[in-house]
Amino acid sequence: MVAAFEAQRAFFESGATRGLPFRVRALKALREAILREEKKICAALEADLGKSEFEGCATETGPVLAEIDLALKRLGGWAKPRSVPVPWNQFPTRGAIHPAPKGLVLIVSPWNYPFQLAANPLVSAMAAGNCAIIKPSELAPATSSILAGMFRSCFPPEHVAVVEGDAGTSSVLLALPFDHIFFTGSSRVGRIVLEAAARNLVPVTLELGGKSPCIVCAGANLAHAAKRIAWGKFLNAGQSCVAPDHVYVHETAKDRFVRELGAALLGFYGPDPRRSPDYGRIVDDRQFQRLSAMLGDGRTLVGGGTDPASRYIAPTVLDEVREESPLLTEEIFGPILPVLPFRELSEVLGRIRGLPRPLALYVFSEDIPLARRVMSEIPCGGACINDVVVQFANPHLPFGGIGASGMGACHGKSGFDTFSHFKAVARTPAAIDLPVKYPPYGKKLRWLKMFR
């Protein structure tokens, strides 16, 4: 690992990655490799998480291809120096901001979207002109292997390298003086990453998670709300950082909302989701046991079935959940959806404001000014009105958390900015040298104050 780091340092210092033609070639090589290996990538995702090929293309390879296409289209503008105004007393100096690559970046990716969340930051890092070492999650070994082989075929290791291993491997990497660390994962591990980075004063982007609440107001289109919430919640068997974590439903709409949820799930996965080719599985036994223990913390309205052998947990809807239950105090990160009735919206907003700031916030209401009021009153990483999850899928929107749900942003221009240093450059013509800034100052103070 240290040898790979030193090789990348030497390669970056050679200046090879700085030119736009090099960056464009790298992005195109990655795009071609994804299209060539897409079947294998989807097979690995199915082996790790039970993902269907459609879900693999829609949520893993597709978003990465969209990121590459956007970067190829806009890179020239993103990387172009931008002129800025200059104060009168600095005439004839000119000012400009030059985007420059940071250098060596470490990307530590998670297991829930193991291809997308490794490759998307890489697209941004390469577009910005950096070298990168990627540490995929050991909990998705098939996808990790595909990543290693594919990136090895696309890039020399001094430009992009994949280092596989467990938490010990991550610890060794985190001790190295990278120029930026991009981590996606849990808040608990995010704190460890931040502490390690602080020792070398390395800037960090943390894409974390937490409780992402959903509010269904009185008068909302319940059929559409239920269908969209069910899709976003049970996608990837609920193992999504932006999945609706729990739903507050106005008490007058709760019973019908639950019926609509059941109808949506029946339409999605049939009477036995275990047999559906479109429903995923829990990543490992530890996560399965954690989630199974939560099933007893409420009254089951829909689902509730499990199969330890295949790590299957049915899409499950619960009510009567205890306030002290982990379902309401911890990120669920699985296919369990608590439904919580409310009477007054102000009560719900106060409850949400009393919790760590969410990564995502979802509001369903026909009253758009009311929905916008909710958006303005609740600090969050991102939000949707009358939908879920789609804010994550738009490469033109920045994605990132706030407070305990993360720091920094990725996707599109925001990702390019994350991996760039914006260098301030002042240029003064050598032939013009105005005497106003030099001593003796004498009466110059009066002129300075007059023009200031």
- Mind spelling out the 3-state secondary structure of 214-271? EEECCCCCHHHHHHHHHHHHHHHHHCCCCCCCEEEEECCCHHHHHHHHHHHHHHHHCC
CA 182/CA 160 separation, integer angstroms = 15
Indicate if 330 belongs to the active site. Answer: no
- For the chain, domains (ranges, CATH) are 2-208+401-425 (3.40.605.10), 213-393 (3.40.309.10)
What sign does the CA torsion over 379, 380, 382, 386 have?
Answer: negative
Please state, for a pLDDT cut of 70, what percent of the chain lies above it: 100
Confidence at 444, pLDDT banded by 50, 70, 90: confident
Segment 277-291, tens digit of pLDDT: 999 999 999 999 999
Mean pLDDT over residues 74-82, rounded?
97
pTM of the predicted structure, to 2 decimals: 0.95
Taking CA atoms, 224 is separated from 172, 230, 257, 278, in Å, by 48, 10, 10, 20
Residue of 150, 204, 157, 114 lying closest to 7 (CA atoms): 157
Taking CA atoms, 109 is separated from 105, 151, 361, 408, in Å, by 13, 15, 23, 15
Confidence at 137, pLDDT banded by 50, 70, 90: very high
Are 313 and 332 within 8 A, CB to CB?
A: no
Whole-number pLDDT of residue 438: 85
Residue 335 has pLDDT above 90, yes or no: yes
CA 68/CA 61 separation, integer angstroms = 11
Q: Which residues pair with 341 in a beta bridge?
A: 249
163: tokens are: 């280092």
**DSSP assignment, residue 437?**
G
DSSP assignment string, 282-295: -SSHHHHHHHHHHG
CA 352/CA 96 separation, integer angstroms = 43
- CA-based max dimension of the chain: 89
Order across the sheet with 246-250: list the strands.
299-302, 316-319, 336-342, 246-250, 213-216, 360-364, 382-385
Whole-number pLDDT of residue 1: 79
Mean pLDDT over residues 242-263, rounded?
97
Whole-number pLDDT of residue 450: 75
Indicate if 241 belongs to the active site. Answer: yes
Assess whether the previous peptide bond of 271 is cis (omega < 30° from 0). no
Beta strand segments in 38-110, E: 82-84, 94-101, 104-108
Whole-number pLDDT of residue 448: 76
Confidence at 324, pLDDT banded by 50, 70, 90: confident
Taking CA atoms, 165 is separated from 1, 162, 170, 234, 359, in Å, by 11, 10, 8, 29, 28
Segment 92-113, tens digit of pLDDT: 889 999 999 999 999 999 999 9
Taking CA atoms, 142 is separated from 9, 111, 314, in Å, by 29, 11, 24
What sign does the CA torsion over 383, 109, 76, 407 have?
Answer: positive
Look at strands 104-108 and 131-135 and give their pairing. parallel
Are 328 and 342 within 8 A, CB to CB?
A: no
Active-site residue, selected from the candidate residues 57, 131, 154, 241: 241
Residue 22 has pLDDT above 80, yes or no: yes
Residue 430 has pLDDT above 80, yes or no: yes
Active-site residue, selected from the candidate residues 207, 214, 331, 380: 207
Confidence at 24, pLDDT banded by 50, 70, 90: very high
Whole-number pLDDT of residue 91: 84
Give the H or E element holding residue 13: helix 2-13
Mean pLDDT over residues 309-331, rounded?
94
More confident site: 2 or 127: 127
**3-state SS, residue 108:** strand
Segment 386-409, tens digit of pLDDT: 999 999 999 999 999 999 999 999
Segment 185-236, tens digit of pLDDT: 999 999 999 999 999 999 999 999 989 999 999 999 999 999 999 999 999 9
CA 181/CA 11 separation, integer angstroms = 19
Taking CA atoms, 355 is separated from 184, 192, 328, 405, in Å, by 21, 22, 10, 11
Residue 436 has pLDDT above 90, yes or no: no
